A and B are shown apart, each in its own frame.
Chain A
Amino acid sequence: MSCRGAKKSLLDYADGRLPEKEREAVRLHLESCPSCEAAAEKLELSASALSSTRPPELGDAASERILANIGREVRPEGSRAGWWRSQRVLAAGAAVAAVLVAVVVVVGVEISRNTGETERSTTGAAEDQASQSAFKSVLPESAPSVPAATATGQNSGSAAPLASVAMPLPAVKASSTDYDQASLRSMVESLPARKQYADAYTMSDAAVLSGTYARKAADDFAHLGQSGPELEAMISYVTASEPVLLTCYVESALFGGRPVWVIGLAAPPRSGSSVKLSRTEVWVLDPARFTSDPDSSIVFFLEYK
């Protein structure tokens, strides 16, 4: 093992989070490398020091005093009325916008949808298997309804009756592609799901559908002979505390020779007013390490804004 390789693992080594085989490899390197050995000792010292600390406690009196101060700031007569007024204006504006959207839907304005297949074969892979998670004509139970496109994709211009249309679902595959950072970026950049999800879904859809789509991806993954429950746990782990991430892509592949699971998530921008799922997060995790230490299973991360 080189110093570079050892340094990548030193933090996990010092914290006792490496699998036995990797731990042994690092230990052997440390025996012959004073520099890395010194770094490992420092990491162990800081681990001991940090683990010895106790959380600071906020006293009840201080807490009540702070709450009282906050109350005085947020409840003064004039500003509270003003704050109420501005909130009502915002609420009224939102209500008007909702009515306008409803009117547009009722007159049957078409939204064109991409109805192509979602499965992609990997470049240069000889033994790809892929699940057929193509567009469905039946929506998932909780998915939002949208107006139908005609068979020719043309806007009929008439008040056609509403019907469910295809909505993009997670693309799930297993491949033997051995990605590196550059090839993974290239794959993600050309991933159709990114535009499909941005066009089809909003933040509200993500909040409703995130669990359903994670389960769908896990079911499809299981049909490929992979562990569906573990994938679902992994998605739950990377989306925890983030209620508006929608699973759009899953691939069992290799990364630098290591078996990994690649998870693509569509999300709204972190700030601003847009609610479209135009941001993409791509997480690469090592399933062999996920169960014992989820944190250490993160191999790589990409984000496209």
Chain B
Amino acid sequence: MPAMNPGHEETKESEDVALVRRAKSGDTTAFEELFRRHRSQIYSLTYRMTGNSADAEDLLQDVFLTAFRKIGSFQGRSSFSTWLYRVGINRSKDFLRKKKRAAELQTPDDQHGEASLEESSRHAGAAERSSQPEAGAIAGEAQRLVQEALDRLPEGLRVPLVLHELEGLQYREVARLMRLPVGTVKSRIFRARLQLAEILEPHKEQWIK
């Protein structure tokens, strides 16, 4: 998300304020407009956190449903965009934990059992229903390698890296979102970049000639 000029940002925020006010009073069309305005931002986050379009789309839906249910509690202590990002990060973390837990519970025998069949058919169904298959969303071997490397980072490092390096949020915004000191955010991004490079080292010719 590139940095916008301050005037444009203020206009967008004030438009969001008006839509949120209407959504809080029960105007579902206002909420639908909020979805249209912020879907790309949140989809980018959920894709970077999950690594595939099927999970990213499910998570995107989950984030906005959560936001709708909680919109009564949004008090304007931050911008709507920041608040929505926070919902997105929390739901992404929940998703990753569930996925990790499911993987831990799977025994080798289960890999050919019901759980994996459900997983496979879900992804197959998702691939069918997704109008933009993987290649449309992120193309190229290099980008696939980067996403796989991101998938391998622990969430505590992945989140600030994604937010700052890929979503374009500045350190202070990441610090606020994650409720961490700016210094901690910087050091996590530093460590995340080192780990990412170690994972990508065998393929570095993709980027360094």
A, B in one complex:
yes
B196 touches A49 (CB 8 A): yes
Cβ of A47 under 8 Å from chain B:
yes
**What bracket does the count of chain A residues touching chain B fall in?**
35 or more
Residue-wise interface mask of A (58-87) relative to B, using a CB-CB cutoff of 8 A (1 in contact, 0 not): 111111011101110111000010011011
From known contacts A52-B146, A75-B28, infer whether A243 and B207 are also in contact, taking CB-CB under 8 Å: no
CB-CB < 8 A to B170: which residues of A?
237, 294-295
Out of B53, B60, B186, B207, name the residue touching A49 (CB < 8 Å).
B207
List A residues 271-305 near B (Cβ within 8 Å).
Answer: 271, 275, 283, 294-295, 298, 300-303
**What bracket does the count of chain B residues touching chain A fall in?**
35 or more
Out of B76, B142, B198, B208, name the residue touching A244 (CB < 8 Å).
B76
CB-CB < 8 A to A67: which residues of B?
32, 35-36
From known contacts A45-B207, A237-B172, A300-B183, infer whether A56 and B193 are also in contact, taking CB-CB under 8 Å: no
Residue-wise interface mask of A (188-200) relative to B, using a CB-CB cutoff of 8 A (1 in contact, 0 not): 0000000000000
CB-CB < 8 A to B159: which residues of A?
none
B142 touches A295 (CB 8 A): no
Residue-wise interface mask of A (6-20) relative to B, using a CB-CB cutoff of 8 A (1 in contact, 0 not): 010011001000000
From known contacts A70-B61, A74-B31, A294-B170, infer whether A57 and B132 are also in contact, taking CB-CB under 8 Å: yes
Out of B28, B56, B138, B166, name the residue touching A74 (CB < 8 Å).
B28
CB-CB < 8 A to A237: which residues of B?
170, 172
Cβ of A101 under 8 Å from chain B:
no
Cβ of B99 under 8 Å from chain A:
no
Q: How far is the CB of B25 from chain A (nearest CB, A)?
A: 6
List B residues 138-153 near A (Cβ within 8 Å).
Answer: 138-139, 142-143, 145-147, 149
List A residues 235-258 near B (Cβ within 8 Å).
Answer: 236-238, 240-244
Cβ of B94 under 8 Å from chain A:
no
List A residues 1-35 near B (Cβ within 8 Å).
Answer: 7, 10-11, 14
A58 touches B57 (CB 8 A): yes
B186 touches A58 (CB 8 A): no
A240 touches B173 (CB 8 A): yes
B6 touches A236 (CB 8 A): yes
A66 to B193 alpha-carbon distance, docked (Å): 33
A75 to B183 alpha-carbon distance, docked (Å): 44
Cβ of A42 under 8 Å from chain B:
yes
B40 touches A53 (CB 8 A): no
List B residues 34-93 near A (Cβ within 8 Å).
Answer: 35-36, 39-40, 43-44, 47-48, 53, 56-57, 60-61, 64-65, 68, 72, 75-79, 81-82
Cβ of A203 under 8 Å from chain B:
yes
Residue-wise interface mask of B (162-184) relative to A, using a CB-CB cutoff of 8 A (1 in contact, 0 not): 00011000111101100101110
CB-CB < 8 A to A268: which residues of B?
77
Task: Point out which of A46, A74, A271 has the most chain B C-beta atoms below 10 A from its C-beta.
Answer: A46
CB-CB < 8 A to A270: which residues of B?
77, 179
A66 to B63 alpha-carbon distance, docked (Å): 11
From known contacts A45-B200, A70-B68, A298-B172, infer whether A62 and B146 are also in contact, taking CB-CB under 8 Å: no
CB-CB < 8 A to A267: which residues of B?
77
Out of A43, A65, A70, A283, name the residue touching B194 (CB < 8 Å).
A43
Cβ of B101 under 8 Å from chain A:
no
A244 to B13 alpha-carbon distance, docked (Å): 13
From known contacts A11-B190, A303-B181, infer whether A71 and B47 are also in contact, taking CB-CB under 8 Å: no
B35 and chain A: residue at smallest CB distance: A67
CB-CB < 8 A to A302: which residues of B?
181
B78 touches A242 (CB 8 A): yes
A58 to B41 alpha-carbon distance, docked (Å): 10
A63 touches B39 (CB 8 A): yes
A243 touches B175 (CB 8 A): no
Cβ of A139 under 8 Å from chain B:
no
Cβ of B19 under 8 Å from chain A:
no
A66 touches B77 (CB 8 A): no
A74 to B35 alpha-carbon distance, docked (Å): 13
A and B contact pairs by CB, cutoff 8 A, 18 listed? A11-B190, A44-B208, A45-B204, A46-B194, A63-B39, A66-B39, A66-B60, A66-B64, A90-B72, A203-B75, A207-B76, A237-B170, A240-B6, A243-B78, A268-B77, A295-B170, A298-B182, A301-B172
Q: Footprint of B on A, CB under 8 Å?
A: 7, 10-11, 14, 39, 41-50, 52-63, 65-67, 69-71, 73-75, 80, 83-84, 86-87, 90-91, 203, 207, 236-238, 240-244, 267-271, 275, 283, 294-295, 298, 300-303
Since A42-B197, A69-B61 are in contact, a sample of 6 more A-B pairs with Cβ atoms closer than 8 Å, ordered by chain A residue number, is A45-B204, A46-B197, A87-B24, A243-B13, A283-B172, A301-B181
